[in-house]
Amino acid sequence: MEERQLMPNNSSTLVDVLEKVLDKGVVIAGDITVGIADVELLTIKIRLIVASVDKAKEIGLDWWESDPYLNSKAAQNNNMDLEEENKRLNERLRLLEDKISGLKETEEGGNNDGRGEQ
């Protein structure tokens, strides 16, 4: 009996396939909808892109660079932004408290009708 070859001679190796996928990119998209009696209750949209980092940046996908959970520089920037916002909010709060305090003093001074106590 003659032994048959399972793989053709010109087959691509896994490395070749992976190189092509990462170079060009692959998009897999799908939607899952859950409903009862023609009433849509839940829709899950799935979008999967497999590409190299360079290819992803080339097509405008670089969200991991600004995500504070994935990038320590983004986390530092996020912390600095929060500190600045906290300072601004504290200043606004102090100004509001000063205004309220001034209004209370005005009301207390305005209740005195000048007749004195009898």
Q: pLDDT in tens for each of the 118 residues of the chain?
A: 555 555 555 567 888 888 888 888 888 888 889 999 888 899 999 888 888 888 888 888 877 777 777 777 777 777 788 889 999 999 999 999 999 988 888 887 766 555 544 4
Structure tokens at 100: 């309220």
Q: Per-residue b/e over 54-78, b at no fewer than 16 CB within 10 Å?
A: ebbeeeeeeeeeeeeeeeeeeeeee
Both tokens of residue 67? 């995500």
pLDDT given for residue 96 in this prediction: 93
Task: Give the pLDDT confidence score for residue 13 in this predicted structure.
Answer: 85
